[in-house]
A and B are shown apart, each in its own frame.
Chain A
Amino acid sequence: QVQLVQSGAEVKKPGASVKVSCKASGYTFTNYGISWVRQAPGQGLEWMGWIITYNGNTNYAQKLQGRVTMTTDTSTSTAYMELRSLRSDDTAVYYCARGSDSDYWGQGTLVTVSS
């Protein structure tokens, strides 16, 4: 069965970086792109970006340009999202999701940014 399993919760200080992983199983990894979506406490869903897994092409939300990098390791069927220069308003649950229509989601990774 299709599964996306994300890495565990992180606590970071302002200015630091975080790298969240999303390991896929149950399907051919390079047949689907991966989206990253985040959700601040009590807020709605915010699309962060998209990576085409077979060639690494990316498209990022304008507000995150320059701070976010999405990559994949096709040998381990894992997608990564790195966010740099963290601020308190980056505190959120971060999700990965499969495909253009986001049919399967990871369980979420809580990233807390606090001094």
Chain B
Amino acid sequence: DIQMTQSPSSLSASVGDRVTITCRASQGISNYLAWFQQKPGKAPKSLIYAASNLQSGVPSKFSGSGSGTDFTLTINSLQPEDFATYYCQQYNSYPRTFGQGTKLEIK
């Protein structure tokens, strides 16, 4: 199975900050990586697919990059509604696997 490791596990930031979350795959997954945002009590929401493509309706403050084993999610100009938990997932091979999540909290 491919292991997905996110860092950091938690992150404290202020409104207006820019943050970057990293996701590393235990083996190459090309660009078959998605990023999700989840707020408490809600279903995950898709932000990015194929490592760097923004889902329809997702603001351009979110961006993704990477290929192979190393990927990043960057969020510019944090707003209160961005504080949530973020997950990466590889869909290159079965079983699909998620990172453990990164909880983004307000400083």
Contact = CB atoms under 8 A, between A and B. Distances in A.
Binding site of B, secondary structure by majority: helix, strand, loop or mixed?
Answer: loop
Nearest to A63: B95
B94 A108 contact: no
A102 B98 CA distance: 12
A45 B55 contact: no
A61 B43 contact: no
A47 B100 contact: no
Contacts of B95: 47, 59, 61-62
B43 A102 contact: no
Interface residues of B, number: 22
Interface stretch (B21-29, B44-52, B68-76): B44-52
B89 A47 contact: yes
B39 interface: no
Contacts of A102: 34, 36, 44, 46, 89, 91
Given A44-B101, A47-B98, A50-B96, A105 B45 contact: yes
Given A104-B46, A108-B43, 8 more contacts: A44-B87, A44-B101, A45-B87, A101-B91, A102-B91, A103-B55, A105-B44, A106-B43
Interface of A: 35, 37, 44-47, 50, 59, 61-62, 95, 97, 100-108
23 contacts: A37-B98, A44-B100, A45-B36, A45-B38, A45-B87, A47-B95, A47-B96, A47-B97, A47-B98, A59-B95, A61-B95, A95-B43, A100-B32, A101-B34, A101-B50, A102-B36, A102-B89, A102-B91, A103-B46, A103-B49, A105-B46, A107-B43, A108-B43
